[in-house]
A = this chain, B = another copy of it.
Amino acid sequence: MFCIGIGVGTHSAQGHWLDVAYPQSVLNPDAKLIDEINSIVDLQADAGAVTLDSDTLSQLANAVSDEAQQSLLNDLVTSQSPCVLTWLRKDSAITSTPEAYLKLHLLSSGQSLPNSLNLDGIFAALPNVAWTSEGPIAIEALDQALLKARVAGRHLDVTSIDKFPKLTNYLAPHGVRIADSARVRLGAYLGPGTTVMHEGFVNFNAGAEGPNMVEGRISQGVFVRKGSDLGGSASTAGTLSGGGNEVITIGEDCLISANAGTGISLGHRCTIEAGLYITPGTRVTVMDTEGTPVKTVKARLLNGQDDLLFIRHSQTGEVQCRTNQNAIKLNDMLHTHN
């Protein structure tokens, strides 16, 4: 079994899932848990999302021995919101809303790293939802809900119209600060010690290993290793729109300074100075430890290398890459690739 989750969510008036919260999702559940659940709900299908009524929830609570799952099931027995049991035997393409939410929870609960899950089909599986102060509302019902609230003298606040909700309404990541929760989607991976400041942003299937200070944007697919900081408005090129096909990684102890950006991966201990954007096609003059120019290459050839400092020379406008320690290794690499 690849994963399983007991969830509680929201239905549209038509009975379609708008969202599902899985407080205790499990990656690679052990055989015992599967057997116990299977004694109540048939898990033979490759994947499934079965709505759970109060009786079934009670039976599951009696059958399951895992403490956290049992506690969750007991809490859900009296739920006013619809409940679901979702499972996937393999990490195959996503075919339903509950499956999509389950995989997003695997990421945000820290069980799965970005780019480790098969997320094919996720956009089709996620409905566009109006996220409001009264919970998720189906898009087609929004006009009437707004009017109804006005007429009743109630204030309905629509905070987002999107396929992805914000992480913080589903899970409370451990040891993390998120200054403005509107900027972190469910499906973001935030390791312990990560602070996402007001200008920070983390997409789904993207994240920071922690500890990290995130004042810039971590695009879909991008993973930032521990000790690295993104300054205000720092940009990491994604693969969804405008960006290329390469998935970017930022190594440990890097600094992408304020208003800077990168379209290539960085290794460890790299710095991009404030305001400089490195694209794969940027021609970069590489200097050795003595500050002597060694070669001019496109930045994509420096992809993933350690100990690089990128600046734009303020007198000549030349983009330079100064190597801190590993000049020889770097030069070797350059010769290999050229």
Contacts and interface: CB of A to CB of B under 8 A. Distances in A.
A313 B318 CA distance: 8
A327 to B, nearest CB: 21
A62 interface: no
A275 B275 contact: yes
Interface stretch (A43-51, A235-243, A328-336): A235-243
A180 B258 CA distance: 21
B274 A235 contact: yes
A30 interface: no
Interface in A191-223: 198-199, 201, 213, 215, 217, 219
A142 interface: yes
Contacts of A80: 151-153
A161 B151 contact: no
Interface in A292-318: 296, 312-318
Contacts of A201: 198-199, 232
Contacts of A283: 314-315
Contacts of A70: none
Contacts of A261: 258-259, 274-275
Contacts of A285: 315
Contacts of A166: 158
Interface of A: 8-9, 21, 23, 72, 75-76, 78-81, 128, 130, 132-135, 139, 142-143, 146-148, 150-153, 155-164, 166, 168-172, 176-183, 198-199, 201, 213, 215, 217, 219, 229, 231-233, 235, 237, 241-242, 255, 257-261, 263, 273-277, 279, 282-285, 296, 312-319
Q: 10 nearest interchain CB pairs?
A: A317-B317, A275-B277, A80-B153, A135-B155, A158-B168, A142-B172, A235-B258, A274-B277, A314-B319, A180-B182
30 contacts: A8-B151, A21-B146, A21-B150, A80-B151, A132-B155, A133-B133, A134-B155, A142-B172, A146-B172, A157-B159, A157-B169, A158-B166, A158-B169, A158-B181, A160-B179, A161-B176, A162-B177, A164-B179, A182-B182, A233-B259, A235-B259, A237-B258, A237-B274, A242-B258, A263-B274, A274-B279, A275-B276, A275-B277, A314-B319, A315-B318
